[in-house]
């Protein structure tokens, strides 16, 4: 494991020791505490070969979450696959803001658009069990992962609907709150060439030439699916705050405001329907 950690140190913005432990714990199907309790246990040759194969895949840029098949978000263990975007810590801001709006015992109707692995819907449903949450995604494969996560976590208040953004909500009662972490990367953004992003689904990352096509569509459609006084919360890129505020104003939203993440970047913009 020490050798693996030294090799993983070549990756940017990682904790090589932690990643080496997580990969080995995954391979052995044991908790990390087992590795600490038995640090000197040699691996059989077959497991040693499999472990180094995982390390090689990680060094080639494959996300750790895809290699282990799971990612923690909001203290919940979620299954993830290459059909879903890997949940990011920045998205927990969207959950925090939603929970500030939802009274603890409220029975609101909430929609999570483009749910992917179901991270946002799962976190909100876990914290506000009286609410009804609809999780939409146009990808059947992603929705299957989300559905599995909701079932494993015992979140029976979440309903999965397949379709593009708000289309599955047609004919449904209006929502009190709509949340989304949509694609917001421009098609020509050079960051798409980074090894990790090349492994993630492009449709969950890219939104047209300026990265705002999905946000425009959601903002245009959302008023018809929100009750009076309902709110829309959107995650976006750190340089897109002004553009998203403008889009929400044009769509008829008021009380528009942008919230910053822990790094001080504009990350989530909210608006209210009169």
Residues 83 and 44 in one domain: no
| Residue 266 placed within a domain | yes
User: Does the annotation place 184 within a ligand binding site?
Assistant: yes
**Does 115 appear as a known binding residue?**
yes
Q: Is 104 annotated as a binding residue?
A: no
Whether residues 88 and 32 fall in one domain: no
Any known ligand binding at 271?
Answer: no
Please write down the HEC assignment for all residues of 81-124: CCCCCCCCHHHHHHHHHHHHHCCCCCCCEEEEECCCCCHHHHHH
Query: Is 182 known to sit in a ligand binding site?
Result: yes
- Does 40 carry a binding-site annotation? no
Q: Is 75 annotated among the ligand-binding residues?
A: no
Give yes or no: residues 196 and 80 share one domain: yes
The answer on 86 and 56 residing in a single domain is: no
Q: What is residue 4's three-state secondary structure? A: helix
Ligand-binding annotation for 156, yes or no, is no
68 labelled ligand-binding? no
Q: Is residue 66 part of a domain?
A: no
Output the pLDDT for position 218. 98
- Inter-CA distances, 18 with 5, 33, 194, Å: 8, 12, 22
Mean pLDDT of the chain: 91
pLDDT tens string 67-83? 999 999 999 999 999 99
β-strands 175-180, 109-113 pairing: parallel
CA distance 6 to 18: 11
Condensed to tens digits (0 to 9), the pLDDT of residues 156-209 reads 999 999 999 999 999 999 999 999 999 999 999 988 888 888 888 888 889 999
| CATH number, domain containing residue 250 | 3.40.50.150
Do 42 and 145 have their domain in common?
no
pLDDT digits (tens, 9 = 90+) for 216-238: 999 999 999 999 999 999 999 99
Q: Domain check: are 229 and 107 in the same one?
A: yes
Q: How many CB atoms lie within 10 A of CB 109?
A: 21
Q: Domain range holding 43?
A: 2-60
Q: What is the pTM of this model?
A: 0.91
Residue 227 shares a structural domain with residue 103: yes
Q: Give the number of C-alpha atoms closer than 13 A to the C-alpha of residue 112, restricted to the C-beta side.
A: 27
For 256, phi and psi rounded to 5 degrees? -85, 135
- The predicted structure's pLDDT at residue 252: 97
Q: What's the total number of domains in the chain?
A: 2
68 lies in a domain?
no
- Rounded CA gap, 230 and 169, in Å? 15
User: Same structural domain for residues 262 and 220?
Assistant: yes
On whether 116 is known to bind a ligand per the annotation, the reply is yes
Q: Does residue 117 have a known ligand-binding role?
A: yes
Question: Could you report the per-residue pLDDT of 41-52, keeping only the tens digit for each?
Answer: 677 778 888 888
Centre a 10 Å sphere on the Cβ of residue 10 and count the other Cβ atoms it contains.
9
């Amino acid at each position: 494991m020490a050798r693996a950690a030294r090799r993983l140190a070549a990756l940017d913005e990682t904790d090589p020791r932690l990643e080496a432990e997580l990969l080995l714990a995954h391979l052995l199907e044991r908790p990390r505490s087992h590795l600490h309790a038995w640090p000197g246990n040699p691996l059989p040759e077959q497991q040693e070969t499999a472990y180094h194969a995982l390390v090689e895949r990680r060094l080639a840029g494959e996300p750790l979450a895809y290699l282990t098949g799971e990612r923690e978000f909001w203290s919940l263990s979620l299954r993830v696959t290459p059909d879903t975007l890997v949940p990011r810590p920045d998205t927990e801001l969207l959950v925090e803001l939603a929970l500030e709006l939802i009274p603890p015992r409220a029975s609101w109707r909430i929609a999570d658009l483009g749910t992917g692995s179901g991270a946002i819907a799962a976190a909100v449903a876990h914290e506000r069990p009286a609410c009804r949450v609809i999780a939409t995604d146009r990808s059947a494969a992603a929705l299957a992962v989300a559905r599995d996560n909701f079932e494993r976590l015992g979140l029976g208040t979440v309903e999965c609907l397949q379709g593009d953004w708000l289309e599955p909500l047609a004919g449904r009662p209006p929502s009190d709150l709509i949340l989304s972490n949509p694609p917001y990367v421009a098609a020509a953004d050079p960051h798409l060439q980074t090894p990790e992003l090349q492994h993630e689904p492009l449709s969950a990352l890219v939104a047209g030439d300026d990265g705002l096509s999905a946000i425009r569509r959601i903002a245009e459609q959302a008023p018809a699916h929100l009750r009076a006084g309902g709110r829309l919360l959107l995650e976006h890129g750190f340089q897109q705050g002004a553009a998203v505020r403008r889009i929400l104003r044009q769509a008829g939203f008021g009380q528009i405001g942008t919230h910053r993440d822990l790094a001080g970047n504009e990350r989530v913009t909210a608006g209210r329907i009169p």
